[in-house]
């Protein structure tokens, strides 16, 4: 999957993906477990680093997951539908987005965000 179209991507809700890149090394989360991605949130801007070796579907689902979770966390007033979401809920939503909208793209990321209640700022 070409990640170039995701650089400096404006998203619904007033968010911006600064860049998406694949790490050279495996990723570890805050408690020492292997992770598929790491997203840094700076205000309303996201920097997404993906684990190397993901299949096309895993890459797509991980992008959906990371963007939805980051938008929920970075939002001053997240949509009601996301307030009680946990990691499993973000995963389920990401798989559903991939199944319904196809591989993650700039357009489908915004469609997913709209379906969860995000709108133009």
Task: Tell if the pTM clears 0.85, that is, is over it.
Answer: yes
Write phi, then psi, for 97 (nearest 5 degrees): -60, -45
pLDDT at residue 88 is higher than 90: yes
pLDDT at site 32 = 86
Nearest to 20 by CA among 47, 44, 38, 43: 47
Structure letter (DSSP) for residue 88: H
**Rounded Cα–Cα distance for residues 50 and 23 (Å):** 6
Q: Domain ranges in the chain?
A: 4-115
The residue among 17, 22, 65 whose CA lies nearest residue 41 is 17
Per-residue model confidence (pLDDT) at position 90: 97
**How does pLDDT run across 32-66, given as a tens digit for each residue?**
889 999 999 999 999 999 999 999 999 999 999 99
Percent of the chain with pLDDT over 70: 99
User: In this structure, what DSSP letter does residue 52 have?
Assistant: T
Q: What is the mean pLDDT of residues 75-91?
A: 93
């Amino acid at each position: 999957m070409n990640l170039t179209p995701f650089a400096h991507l404006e998203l619904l809700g007033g968010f911006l993906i600064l860049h998406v890149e694949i790490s050279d090394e495996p990723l570890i989360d805050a408690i020492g477990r292997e992770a598929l991605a790491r997203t840094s949130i700076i205000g309303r801007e996201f920097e997404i680093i993906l684990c190397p070796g993901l299949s096309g579907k895993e890459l797509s689902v991980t992008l959906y997951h990371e963007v939805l979770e980051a938008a929920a966390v970075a939002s001053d007033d997240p949509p009601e539908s996301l307030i009680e979401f946990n990691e499993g809920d973000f995963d389920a939503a990401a798989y559903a987005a991939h199944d319904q909208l196809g591989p993650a793209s700039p357009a489908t990321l915004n469609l997913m965000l709209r379906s969860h209640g995000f709108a133009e700022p």
